[in-house]
């Protein structure tokens, strides 16, 4: 029996066909059910696109509960849920399922009381003509007074049947629309994610990466703050707090300032930031206010207080290759934020992209730092941090172009530390390095910001002093540099003093290119050294001529030994009391075919600076030993004294080389005396003692030369295995007219005698000097008063004549230098 007339069905079908979409059909179905007045409420449940759930798409609750219609709209029930559910029984059973005090599962009956209904019944929405097709949903009916009879089900079932085909078609359309929208949304999100990845990975600064990430999130979700935390030193440190609204930036800055020195430790799960990191999973608080009663750390409590008690909090790990490298915290302050599963998945993807961008930034920073360090190492001195020779030339080249363009002058100065090698040789290279750093700091303090100081070589520095006013006042700056570098240097437990020699030239007066100016300043610096060091010299063309001569001398000196140009002269030494000859000192001379006899005062400094002193010293030792053996074979048993240079003394295996020389020449070691300078032996006492012990083990006599002119340490002096001290000729020369020199000489004699050492006075030129030495109990002497240095043949004759020293008036040799 039909309950709707043909006219009613036609009218209704006409309205159904004009319904725009599924929602319009549902509204029309609900309107028709309401007209029938057979039930007090209903819910239309339709299958979703995946066919996994029933979704409540049209709700009409009993009158007093209709304010909840929208609340339950969209409610989903899984089609795989308990079959006892009323809707599930109707859907799967394809028949009416009732729920009242007599029928239906007990678990469902509380619903009757909740909605104040006497009975609920679910009808499957399906085609009677095609029973093989699955229902498209269910229609849940509610009755508050009494129960529903067959008439209710038949009438509403007939009505629903009219909507079946249109709703099935509309569901398909809706499914396609939803799929299209979902596809479009996924494609849009994919494109947006791709753009995000491209843009964020092109950034090289962490702050820019964070800004890009925050901006993208703020456009999609209603969060108002994002905190970025990265793992450093096994703690999570806040790197930035971004705010969606510039008006809230102050709160974000306050939180960042609070967190700046308060990292999250990773020893527990306390707090959302470390929890998400340690668990490598997201953590969501829909309403933070519900958590305020839970005990929290002071750090978290204060953070929430600064944010004025936020509502929603989401924390995600920042991942790189699946492993956490930090955490993200999202805050909403004004209202709770609903984060759908799809948005959460998108955020997790973005956090992985963020992790990759962060690692890229760090790698970029490391590469930049490495490149900067490589560039710095290529252009700066490693020890002092000053520009090196390459950068100096570049700055000079740039300066020349600028000075020429602007019509300016400039000063280029060479600064060379005097006797700096003594620091390395005596105190060690570490002390020398510390001294160079100290010198560098002093140089910087003396110059202006616009000036340049560069390390040109080991102990050489170059200054570029710009002169924008062309007033030529740089001499005062150089005087300041000289004074500063001559100040004592305190190093560890000792203090020592350096001096420097400075040479300078002017642009454009002395040159207009880099090489010419550097060469001119270098020549002036060598002139300063030639004039006694610790002074300043301005370049003049004559200096270049002198430098050329010096270079010529050095070139000829390199071949002097192999060309047999070097000769030894021997100066006899006499016992002051007995007057007899007790030894000779070997002194080198250079007889060049072109230059004639070159003074030792000229070529010895060149040999020392060029390093030629070592091979020359070896030649002297070998020749002197051979001559001493020749004298012995002639019946003249006279010891020979040889000076060891500092370079020879510090050379590895010096004792073995001396032993080999003695063996090669056949000289008895007791006839060899080695003279060591005071500064050479005092600088590194422990090493000096070892070398001296090796010499003494061979039977060699050891003498300290030039005693009193260097710095002495008597506590070490008494440990040295010495035989003699040599009183420097500067004291001997002045002792007859200087009470101070006489007092020093007598003090040296007293020290030597207390240490059971003999004293040899050198440079004795007058009888008065000799008599004073005799009164002071000096044992030996040498000097022009007794004999000048003699060639080997003359010295042989002198020794054969058995000359004797006399304390009475004699006719001395012509006065002059001992060496």
Give me the mean pLDDT over the 561-590 stretch. 92
Q: Which of 199-213, 222-236, 676-690, 785-799 has the lowest mean pLDDT?
A: 676-690
Hey, how many other C-beta atoms are within 10 angstroms of the C-beta on 389?
A: 16
Residue 70 CA, distance from chain mean position: 63
Q: Which residues contact 533 (CB under 8 A, 6 or more apart)?
A: 418, 419, 499, 500, 501
Look-up of token digits 């996994």: 52
Highest mean pLDDT among 30-34, 95-99, 389-393, 569-573: 569-573
Taking CB atoms within 8 Å and a gap of at least 24, the contacts of 753-757 are 753/777, 755/717, 755/718, 755/722, 757/722, 757/723, 757/724, 757/725
Give me the mean pLDDT over the 368-380 stretch. 78
Task: Could you list the beta-strand ranges (E) of 48-174.
Answer: 53-60, 76-78, 97-99, 119-125, 137-143
- Full 3-state SS string of 413-480: EEEEEECHHHHHHHHCHHHHHHHHHHHHHHHHHHCCCCCEEEECCCCEEEEEEEECCCCCCHHHHHHH
CATH number for 389-539 (one of 3.40.50.150, 3.30.2350.10, 3.30.70.270, 3.40.640.10): it is 3.30.70.270
Whether 423 shows a pLDDT value over 50: the answer reads yes
Percentage of the chain modeled with pLDDT above 70:
91
Same fold, 6-178 and 203-367: yes
For helices 600-610 and 541-557, give the axis angle rounded to 10 degrees. 80
Tens of pLDDT along 619-647? Answer: 999 999 999 999 999 999 999 999 998 88
Backbone dihedral region of 785: left (phi > 0), alpha (psi from -120 to 50 degrees) or beta? alpha
- Full 3-state SS string of 88-116: HHHHHHCCCEEECCCCCCHHHCHHHHHHC
Residue 700 to residue 762: CA distance in whole angstroms: 21
Whether 710 shows a pLDDT value over 60: the answer reads no
For 257, 426, 682, 684, 716, the CA distances from 423, given in Å and listed in that order, are: 51, 5, 11, 9, 18
| Amino acid 197: pLDDT | 66
Residue 682 to residue 690: CA distance in whole angstroms: 13
The H-or-E segment that residue 506 falls in is strand 499-507
Are 809 and 612 a contacting pair, CB within 8 Å? no
Q: Exposure pattern of 574-594 as b/e (b: 16+ CB <10 Å)?
A: bbbeeeebbbbbbbbbbebee
Strand ranges across the sheet with 264-265: 264-265, 235-243, 225-232, 323-332, 312-320, 283-285
Give me the mean pLDDT over the 735-749 stretch. 89
Give me the mean pLDDT over the 205-229 stretch. 88
Tens of pLDDT along 240-255? Answer: 999 988 888 888 899 8
Residue 761 to residue 781: CA distance in whole angstroms: 5
Tens of pLDDT along 654-678? Answer: 999 999 999 999 999 999 999 987 6
| Amino acid 188: pLDDT | 61
Tens of pLDDT along 483-531? Answer: 999 998 887 667 888 889 999 999 999 999 999 999 999 999 988 987 8
Whether 422 shows a pLDDT value over 80: the answer reads no
- Going by the DSSP 8-state scheme, the letter that residue 66 receives in this structure is G
Residue 751 to residue 578: CA distance in whole angstroms: 23
Are 30 and 160 a contacting pair, CB within 8 Å? no
Highest mean pLDDT among 120-134, 140-154, 546-560: 140-154
Hey, CA dihedral for 286, 287, 293, 299, is it positive or negative? Answer: positive
Residue 109 to residue 99: CA distance in whole angstroms: 7
| Amino acid 238: pLDDT | 92
Q: Three-class SS of residue 231?
A: strand
Q: Does 390 or 545 have the greater pLDDT score?
A: 390
Name the fold adopted by 6-178: Beta-Lactamase (3.30.450)
| Amino acid 375: pLDDT | 77
Residue 463 CA, distance from chain mean position: 28
Q: Does 204 or 654 have the greater pLDDT score?
A: 654
Are 464 and 451 a contacting pair, CB within 8 Å? yes
Tens of pLDDT along 774-816? Answer: 999 999 999 999 999 999 999 999 999 988 998 876 544 443 4
**By C-alpha distance, which of 732, 670, 679 is closest to 702?**
670
Give me the mean pLDDT over the 141-149 stretch. 90
Residue 695 to residue 704: CA distance in whole angstroms: 14
Give me the mean pLDDT over the 735-760 stretch. 90
Tens of pLDDT along 12-40? Answer: 888 888 888 888 999 999 999 999 999 99
Torsion of CA 308, 312, 318, 319, to 10 degrees: 170
| Amino acid 27: pLDDT | 92
Are 68 and 165 a contacting pair, CB within 8 Å? no
List beta partners, residue 673. 641, 701
| Amino acid 398: pLDDT | 93
Q: Three-class SS of residue 759?
A: strand
Hey, how many other C-beta atoms are within 10 angstroms of the C-beta on 517?
A: 26
Whether 699 shows a pLDDT value over 90: the answer reads yes
| Amino acid 814: pLDDT | 43
Are 317 and 281 a contacting pair, CB within 8 Å? yes
Q: Does 569 or 649 have the greater pLDDT score?
A: 569
Would you list the DSSP string of 358-379?
HHHHHHHHHHHHHHHHHHHHHH
What is the residue-averaged pLDDT of the chain?
85
Measured at the alpha carbon of residue 323, what is the angle toward residues 317 and 329, in degrees to the nearest 5? 10
Would you list the DSSP string of 686-748?
HHHHHHHHHHHHHT-EEEEEEETSS---HHHHTTS--SEEEE-HHHHHHTTT-HHHHHHHHHH
Q: Which of 25-29, 126-130, 258-262, 670-674 has the lowest mean pLDDT?
A: 126-130
Are 39 and 141 a contacting pair, CB within 8 Å? yes
List beta partners, residue 194. none
Q: Which residues contact 490 (CB under 8 A, 6 or more apart)?
A: none
Hey, CA dihedral for 777, 778, 784, 789, is it positive or negative? Answer: positive
Q: Which of 570-574, 681-685, 812-816 has the lowest mean pLDDT?
A: 812-816
Look-up of token digits 């090289």: 204
| Amino acid 216: pLDDT | 84
Tens of pLDDT along 147-195? Answer: 899 889 988 988 888 888 888 887 777 666 665 565 566 556 556 666 6
Give me the mean pLDDT over the 424-439 stretch. 86
- The CATH class that applies to domain 557-800 reads alpha beta
For the chain, which residues make up each domain, given as ranges? 6-178, 203-367, 389-539, 557-800
Whether 760 shows a pLDDT value over 70: the answer reads yes
Strand ranges across the sheet with 452-455: 452-455, 460-467, 409-418, 499-507, 536-538
Region 203-367: CATH code:
3.30.450.40
């Amino acid at each position: 029996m039909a309950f709707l007339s043909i006219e009613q069905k036609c009218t209704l079908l006409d309205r159904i066909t004009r319904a725009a979409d599924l929602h319009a059909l549902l509204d029309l179905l609900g309107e028709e059910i309401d007209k029938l007045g057979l039930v007090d409420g209903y819910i239309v449940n339709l299958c979703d696109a995946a066919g996994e759930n029933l979704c409540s798409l049209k709700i009409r609750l009993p009158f007093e509960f209709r304010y909840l219609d929208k609340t339950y709209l969209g409610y989903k029930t899984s089609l795989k849920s308990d079959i006892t559910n009323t809707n599930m029984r109707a859907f799967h059973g394809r028949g009416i399922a009732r729920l009242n005090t007599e029928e239906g599962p007990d678990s469902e009956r509380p619903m009757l009381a909740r909605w104040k209904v006497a009975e609920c019944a679910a009808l499957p929405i399906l085609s009677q003509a095609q029973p093989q097709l699955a229902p498209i949903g269910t229609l849940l009916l509610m009755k508050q007074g009494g129960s529903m009879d067959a008439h209710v089900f038949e009438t509403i079932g007939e009505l629903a049947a009219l909507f079946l085909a249109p709703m099935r078609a509309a569901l398909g359309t809706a499914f396609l629309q939803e799929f299209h929208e979902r596809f479009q949304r996924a494609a849009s999100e994919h494109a947006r994610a791709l753009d995000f990845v491209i843009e964020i990975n092109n950034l090289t600064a962490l702050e820019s990466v964070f800004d890009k990430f925050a901006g993208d999130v703020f456009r999609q979700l209603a969060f108002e703050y994002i905190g970025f935390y990265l793992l450093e030193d096994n703690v999570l440190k806040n790197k930035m707090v971004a705010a969606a609204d510039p008006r809230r930036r102050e709160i974000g800055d306050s939180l960042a300032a609070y967190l700046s020195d308060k990292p999250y430790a990773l020893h527990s799960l306390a707090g959302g930031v470390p929890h998400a990191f340690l668990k490598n999973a997201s953590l969501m608080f829909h309403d933070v206010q519900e958590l305020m009663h839970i005990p929290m750390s002071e750090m978290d409590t204060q953070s929430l207080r600064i944010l004025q008690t936020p509502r929603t909090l989401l924390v995600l790990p920042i991942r790189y290759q699946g492993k956490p490298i930090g955490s993200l915290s999202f805050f909403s302050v004004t209202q709770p934020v609903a984060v759908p599963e799809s948005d959460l998945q998108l955020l997790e993807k973005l956090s992985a992209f963020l992790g990759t961008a962060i690692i890229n930034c760090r790698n970029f920073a490391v590469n930049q730092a490495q490149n900067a360090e490589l560039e710095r190492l290529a252009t700066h001195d490693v020890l002092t941090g000053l520009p090196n020779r390459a950068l100096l030339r570049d700055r000079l080249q740039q300066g020349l172009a600028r000075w020429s363009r602007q019509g300016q002058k400039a000063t280029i100065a060479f600064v060379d530390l005097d006797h700096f090698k003594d620091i390395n040789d005596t105190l060690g290279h570490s002390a020398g390095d510390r001294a160079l750093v100290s010198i560098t700091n002093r140089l910087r303090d003396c110059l202006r910001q616009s000036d340049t100081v560069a390390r040109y070589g080991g102990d050489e520095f170059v200054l570029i002093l710009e002169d924008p006013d062309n007033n030529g006042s740089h001499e005062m700056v150089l005087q300041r540099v000289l004074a500063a570098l001559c100040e004592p240097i305190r190093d560890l437990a000792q203090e020592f003093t350096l001096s420097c020699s400075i040479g300078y030239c002017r642009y454009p007066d002395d040159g207009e290119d880099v090489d010419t100016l550097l060469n001119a300043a270098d020549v002036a610096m060598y002139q300063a050294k030639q004039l006694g060091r610790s002074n300043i010299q301005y370049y003049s063309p004559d200096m270049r001529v002198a430098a050329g001569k010096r270079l010529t001398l050095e070139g000829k000196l390199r071949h002097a030994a192999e060309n047999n140009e070097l000769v030894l002269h021997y100066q006899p030494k006499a016992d002051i009391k007995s007057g007899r000859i007790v030894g000779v000192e070997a002194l080198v001379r250079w007889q060049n075919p072109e230059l004639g006899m070159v003074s030792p005062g000229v070529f010895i400094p060149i040999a020392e600076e060029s390093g030629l002193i070592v091979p020359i010293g070896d030649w002297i030792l070998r020749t002197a030993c051979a001559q001493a053996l020749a004298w012995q074979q002639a019946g003249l048993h006279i010891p020979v004294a040889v000076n060891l240079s500092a370079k020879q003394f510090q050379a590895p295996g010096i004792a073995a080389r001396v032993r080999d020389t003695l063996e090669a020449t056949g000289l008895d070691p007791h006839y060899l005396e080695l003279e060591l300078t005071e500064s050479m032996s005092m600088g590194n006492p422990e090493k000096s003692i070892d070398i001296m012990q090796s010499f003494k083990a061979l039977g060699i006599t050891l003498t300290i030369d030039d005693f009193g002119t260097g710095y002495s340490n008597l506590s070490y002096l008494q440990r040295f295995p010495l035989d003699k001290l040599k009183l420097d000729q500067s004291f001997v020369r002045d002792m007859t007219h200087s009470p101070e020199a006489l007092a020093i000489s007598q003090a040296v004699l007293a020290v030597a005698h207390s240490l059971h050492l003999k004293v040899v006075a050198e440079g004795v030129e007058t009888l008065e000097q000799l008599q004073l030495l005799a009164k002071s109990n000096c044992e030996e002497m040498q000097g022009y008063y007794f004999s000048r240095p003699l060639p080997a043949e003359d010295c042989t004759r002198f020794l054969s004549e058995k000359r004797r020293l006399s304390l009475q008036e004699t006719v001395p040799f012509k006065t002059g230098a001992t060496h």
